[in-house]
Each structure stands twice: as C-alpha cells, then as structure tokens.
Amino acid sequence: MSDPGRPAVGAADPIDAHVADLAAALHGPARAKSRMVTELREGLVDAARDLASGPDPDHDAARLAVREFGSVAEIAPSFQRELTIAQARHTARTVMLIAPLLLVCWYLVRTWDGATGRQLPDTVELLVAHLGGVAAVAALLAAAALAATGALARRLPTPHRLPLAVAWTGTVAATALAVSALTLTLASLLAANWPLSVAAGVVIITCHAKVAASARACRECARLPVVTP
C-alpha cells in the first residue's frame, strides 16, 4: 500500500502494515474496499502527525495511531458489514438490470418466429414462461433489497441475513439465465431465425456469468463476521 506521494513515517511503516492486513481481511467490491481502506490510511497518517513529537510523524507515533484506531480484529467487522451490504447492493443492481433482459430476448425470438409462422414446441414455451416468472420475481426481490439497504434503512433496520438472501436471489437468477441460454441454443435448431436465437443465447450466457460471479462474491461476503448495528 506504499505510495511514494505520501509522507513517509519510517521504513517498516506500522500504518502500511496495518492497512495491508486490514485490506487482506476484507472482502467486497474492489472500489468500495479501496475507498474505505484509503480513507482509513489518510486518517492514520493525520493521527500520526498529531501524535508525533516533531514536525514529521515517526515510527512510534505511527504505531500509537494504529493502536488508537483499533486492531484489525477490532475494526474489520465494522468495515466488513458495509462491504457486505455494498456487495449485496451490487448483486441486487445486477439482477435488477439483467433479469428483465431475459424477457426481452425471449420476446424478440418469439415475435420473430411468430411473424414467420413457426412456433417453438409447447414444452419450450412452458419452460420459457416459468423462467420468465423466476426472472421477474428475482428482479422484484432485488429492487426490494436495494430499497431496504438504501433510504428505507433510515426507518427500518436492515435484516442481518438480507445479504445472504440477495446472494441466493442472484444465484437463482443466474440459474434461470443459464437454463434460458441452453433452451435458446436448443430452440435455435427449430427456430425460423436461428442466428437471432443464437445471438440471444450468447447475450444471456454472458449475463449469466456476470450475475453468477456477483452472487458468488455476495455469498462469500455474507459468511464473514460483521458487527451488529
């Protein structure tokens, strides 16, 4: 975490070591984590300057600042709580934006095939209806989670298990997307405009990868210890 642009407080800098340990203990969206850790580092440098006997912070002042700010074990749960919520919001946002895309892709494929007088088999139509329903419910749950962790949290406490619920919502949405991509690939064999079906399948499998990765990260964050508010 050393930055040549910042004032040095010693060769084996306790602040850099502390910040590196904290960063290693935390999991969550990279940007949010970097921002919080950078802020903490700036605060530690300010504190070391205040505590130093001379104009420049020394090793002892840096060590004292680290002690005053709290050990990694003491402060990491507070940081992790915010990062877990940030990851849950990221996953919820991804599900909310991507799940409706599934409906759009199916609509395009069906409309095109309907216009050419060909129809997908009933089994495929039924599966599509169910997958569409799953995607719609997942998007609604994701929107509710975003509200519950945003302005609504001023009035209502955020449920402790909400990030885990968001993680599983994302996992279900990712599964629906994967099944949809597979169905579209198979349906392309019967479709009048198979390039359109294949293109829709590629779009959906890309979306699946995005949602699945975010949901996996959310599940990992939800398992970590956090401080209760």
Partner 1 sequence: MKASAVRGHLDGLLLSVLESGPLHGYAVITAVQERSNGVLELRKGTIYPALNKLERLGLLRSVWEADGERRRRCYELTDAGRRSLAEERSVWREFTAAIGSVLEPAPGPGHAT
Binding site for partner 1 (CB under 8 A): 5-6, 32, 35-36, 38-40, 42-43, 45-47, 50, 68-70, 74-75, 78-79, 81-82, 85-86, 149-151, 153-154, 227, 229
- Residue whose CB is less far from partner 1, 85 or 141: 85
Taking the complex as a whole, how short is the minimal distance between the CB of residue 65 and partner 1, in angstroms? 9
In the complex with partner 1, the residue whose CB is nearer, 135 or 226, is 226
- The least CB distance from residue 18 to partner 1, in Å, is 9
Distance CA 64, CA 53 (A): 12
Compare residues 79 and 106 and give the one whose CB is closer to partner 1. 79
**Closest separation in Å from C-beta 88 to partner 1:** 11
Distance CA 201, CA 110 (A): 13
Of 120 and 146, which has the nearer Cβ to partner 1? 146
Residue 11 CB, nearest distance to partner 1 (Å)?
20
Q: Which is nearer to partner 1, 102 or 222 (CB)?
A: 222
Long-range contacts at 183-186 (CB < 8 A, ≥ 24 apart):
183/124, 183/127, 183/128, 183/131, 184/105, 184/109, 186/124
CB of 13 to partner 1, least distance (A): 15
Q: How far is 139 from 62, CA to CA, in rounded Å?
A: 47
Q: How far is the CB of 38 from partner 1 (least distance, A)?
A: 8
* Cβ nearer to partner 1, comparing 86 with 211: 86
Tokens for 78, please give them. 């507070």
